[in-house]
Amino acid sequence: MLDIHDNKLTKSIPDSLGYLASLASLDVSSNSFTSTIPSSLGLLTNLRSLSLKNSPLLVGSVPASICSLMSKMAANNLILDLHLDPQLCLDACFYTSISTLSLIGNVTGLGSTSRICTSSPTPSPVSPEKTKTSLPLWAVASTASIVSFLFLLILGLIVYFRRYYHAKEKNNEPHTDVYFLFDCDFDTLGRDNYARIQKLYEHLLMKGLNICFDESKKENARKSVERMATIRQRIENTRVLLCFVTDSYRVHVNSQYNTNVYKDEFQDAVEIHGPQFFVPVVMEPSMRNARNWQGSLGAALGTFLYCDFCNDDDALFEGKCREIEGMIKVIIENRTGPSDAFLTHNWAVDTLGRNNHERVKSVNASLKASGLVLWFDEVSLHVPFPLLLLLLPKDHTFHNTIFLFFLLHAGTHAGQHALYDDGRDR
């Protein structure tokens, strides 16, 4: 006999009590035991009385092992008295086994509150081996296919929306005609490069060109991840790159250790558009020889004709602005597909006093009427025609294009390129 009732014991009832094989009576009532009744108590084959009443912290069910023990005892006309609290429930086997033996009356303390524990499964006479089920192969394959499809669908949606929001973010930057690449240092003659470029910027704005001119470089030209991302978007959304070449800009672009935006900005512009969409503008005499550009600057733009903007004389400013404007418009108007014929000419009056542009214009109209797709130079008054060939877009198809050159004796004057022939009308 073991009587430990009303000892203010806590925690769970020890499982080791199930090893007291000779124990006939066990009273653990009126304590503060928690958790559930241990199933090891069903091993006490000599037990005749078990009292668990006045234990409000016990939860769960009376184990099936105790039910099994009571059934075996009943077969030998023996009785086990159970004294329980109302919060405990009975395992289903009490109702399938003990009640049939008319021994349910020996379970006292439950009264009308006795119930089957919903968490305890009803014993089945079927062997465990027969209860095992497995899905057919077609069901497993179908499930795997559905899971794979859903995974690919979700992955595709993620990629789509990432591209969508990237494009939307990119479109937040306005589209421009021209992007200015420059530095804000003083040139070798002590002139403020920023102020000189700003003057040109204001003039081109009045001509109707949409220009991206980053004025924030004047205060801070240091680069950051966010700033370079914005600059790249602006470069992607422009059509012409105007690069102002000074000795300090050459040093920045060719420098191995760069902490400002100039080098990365130039490299992004070359990568995105290619050098054929640049208009180099030389800003100081020491840069007139393109061999002095060197490095990545010389490699990208050294073979292109440039606009000489070294002289700040106001008398020449207007002409130089027209020349730059003409170069820009040539690129803008001809970032298109292939043409059947390329027409270039000089706008000067010939030796017989005839307007060459009007005469070539009439030829252009006649050829267009015949169904030809023509590239007609409307701005060659300010641009040498060899430069027009260099500035054609990289995707322009040359192998099917006929070049028609209208030549005349024009003489040489500022802002024009002179072409000579025998003077005959062709």
Same-domain status, 326 and 359 = no
**Phi and psi angles of residue 241, each rounded to the nearest 5 degrees, phi first:** -110, 120
Percent of the chain with pLDDT over 90: 25
Instruction: Kindly state the percentage of the chain with pLDDT values over 70.
Output: 68
> Rounded to whole angstroms, how far apart are CA atoms 136 and 146?
16
Which residue, 281, 302, 333, sits at the end of a domain? Answer: 333
Compute the residue count for the chain.
Answer: 426
The tokens of 164 are what? 């969508």
Same domain for 210 and 75?
Answer: no
Which H/E stretch holds residue 341?
A: strand 341-345
CATH number at 210 reads 3.40.50.10140
For the record, the structure tokens of 27 come out as 């009273």
pLDDT of the residue at 254: 92
Question: Are residues 181 and 323 located together in one domain of the fold?
Answer: yes
- Residue 46 phi/psi, 5° resolution? -100, 5
Residues 192 and 316 in one domain: yes
In angstroms, the CA 326 to CA 195 distance is: 22
* pTM score above 0.85: no
302 and 229 in one domain?
yes
Q: Does the pLDDT at position 396 exceed 60? A: no
Does residue 153 form part of some domain? no
Structural domain ending residue among the three candidates 108, 125, 142: 125
Which residue range(s) make up the domain with 379? 337-426
User: Looking at the 3D structure of the chain, how many domains does it have?
Assistant: 3
- The domain that holds 114 is classified in CATH as 3.80.10
* pLDDT for the residue numbered 240: 93
Q: Is residue 148 situated within a structural domain?
A: no
User: Comparing 163 with 29, which gets the higher pLDDT?
Assistant: 29
The reply to whether 149 falls in a domain is: no
Please indicate, yes or no, whether residues 190 and 87 belong to a single structural domain of this protein: no
Q: CA nearest 278: which of 296, 291, 292, 261?
A: 296
Confidence band (pLDDT; 50, 70, 90) for 162? confident
51 within 8 A of 30, measured Cβ to Cβ: no
20 and 116 both lie in a single domain = yes
Do 352 and 327 lie in one domain? The reply is no
Whether residue 413 sits in one domain with residue 290: no
Rg (CA), the chain: 48
Residue 166: inside a domain, yes or no?
A: no
162 within a domain of the structure (yes/no): no
Q: Indicate the pLDDT class of residue 330, thresholds 50, 70 and 90.
A: confident
Residue 141 lies in a domain: no
pLDDT at position 184 is 92
On whether both 358 and 227 belong to a single domain, the answer is no
Chain centroid to CA 41: 63
130: Cβ contacts below 8 Å, ≥ 6 apart:
none
**Residue where a domain terminates, one of 307, 333, 359:** 333
Coil, strand or helix at 400: coil
Q: Which helix (H) or strand (E) holds 245?
A: strand 240-245
pLDDT tens sequence across 200-249: 999 999 989 999 999 988 888 888 888 999 999 999 999 999 999 999 99
- Identify whether residues 236 and 300 lie together within a single domain: yes
- Domain assignment present for residue 80? The answer is yes
Name the 3-class secondary structure at 95: helix
pLDDT in tens, 263-295: 999 999 999 988 889 999 999 999 999 999 989
**Is the per-residue pLDDT at 7 higher than 70?**
yes
Q: Is 398 buried (19+), middle (13-18) or exposed (0-12) by CB count in 10 A?
A: exposed
| pLDDT for residue 64 | 77
Does residue 145 lie in a domain region? no
Residue in the structure block whose two tokens are 């203010």:
8
* pLDDT at residue 133, as a whole number: 60
pLDDT band at 120 (very low <50, low <70, confident <90, very high): very low
Whole-number Cα distances in Å, 410 to 28, 107, 344, 351 = 123, 126, 15, 8
372 vs 99: CA distance, rounded Å = 105
Q: By C-alpha distance, which of 390, 382, 369 is closest to 413?
A: 382
In whole angstroms, give the CA distance from residue 75 to residue 71: 6
Task: Answer yes or no: do 305 and 375 share one domain.
Answer: no
